Chains A and B, each alone.
Chain A
Amino acid sequence: MNPIDPAELSALLDGELPPDRAAQVRGAIDADPALQAEFQRLSALDARWFAAAASAAFQPRPVSLTSPRFTWPLRIAALLSAILLIRFVPKFLAPSLGMLLHFAALVVLLAWTRSRAISPPQLSQIDAAAP
């Protein structure tokens, strides 16, 4: 049997050793009181640290990724709309070329804003790798 690397005690504790090696390390621990004491010490500390760390966890407020956000392009579009509406209010009942340009500019800006917004990502690949 290969000699026991002290780091393997940690790995055994964490359940991260391959089964055959884990069996060898367990056997070595059973046969060696010093290793046994060290493993027990590590186990006790590990449990204590996990318990302590668990007391820090809390459920944060729900993460929202889909809420509409007032992005800069939207702000500019809103400002332009306001300016142009004020400018062309008298002609509102008789649409002019200016009004048409205004609406065309709005459509372009909103389309651009939408293209810059967060688009749904591809998660199918992730699902396969997710723990």
Chain B
Amino acid sequence: MSKPPGIAAASFEQLVSPLLARAAGLARAILHNHADAEDAVQDAALRAYRALASYDPARSFAGWWFAIVRNCCRDFLRHRQSNPPARPVDDADRQTPGHVPWQELCDALDSLSTQHRQILQLRYFAQCSYRDLADALDIPIGTVMSRLHAARQALASVYTQEKP
């Protein structure tokens, strides 16, 4: 793969740095594990850096970046399925004592369809705009609007049942 000549790695880090905490939150919501989420974000950063030449500047950078984070998380999940760990992978986060709001939200999201779960994870954990969502999910903005609304209604019915 040919790479265009360009600027130093430090600039890429500056561009990605503001998105890292949200990427970590998104990865945690998908993987339910702090350590795996951290590794997935590291992988995503490296993958994004290597694939930067293929980035289309007409798309939103955040959408492109969070799509890579999601793909890395998916790879982690696939790896988990083919190489089950000796201990449950979600121990670290699941054993956190006390009230953990994001886990309750994840539990509710887990009961939704894949489409609804994906768009809500990107909206709430990654705080994606509609343009980011359209680019991350490769769907038109109009579809983002209708799908997000339908997903919210679905989540509301589940979440209200769980958290009256």
Using a CB–CB cutoff of 8 Å, the interface residues on chain A facing chain B are 6-11, 14, 16, 41-42, 45-46, 49-61, 63, 65-66, 118-131
Contacts and interface: CB of A to CB of B under 8 A. Distances in A.
Contacts of B12: 65, 120-121, 123
A129 B152 contact: no
B24 interface: yes
A63 B41 contact: yes
Given A7-B146, A122-B52, 6 more contacts: A56-B28, A56-B106, A121-B53, A124-B7, A126-B57, A131-B60
Contact of A123 (B11, B105, B129, B159): B11
A71 to B, nearest CB: 13
Nearest to B3: A119
B156 interface: yes
A46 B55 CA distance: 32
Interface of B: 3-13, 15-17, 20-25, 28-29, 34, 37-38, 41-42, 45-46, 49-50, 52-53, 55, 57-62, 100-102, 104-106, 120, 124-125, 127, 129-130, 132, 145-146, 148-150, 152, 155-156, 159
Contacts of B11: 123
B9 A65 contact: yes
Closest 5 CB pairs of A and B: A122-B6, A57-B25, A56-B102, A52-B101, A121-B52
A62 to B, nearest CB: 8
B13 A65 contact: yes
A129 B22 CA distance: 19
Nearest to B124: A53
A129 B12 CA distance: 14
Nearest to A66: B9
B9 A120 contact: yes
A130 B15 contact: yes
Given A16-B129, A121-B52, A53 B149 contact: no
A55 to B, nearest CB: 5
A45 B159 contact: yes
A57 B148 CA distance: 21
Contacts of A55: 100-102
A122 B130 contact: no
A54 B9 CA distance: 29
Nearest to A130: B61
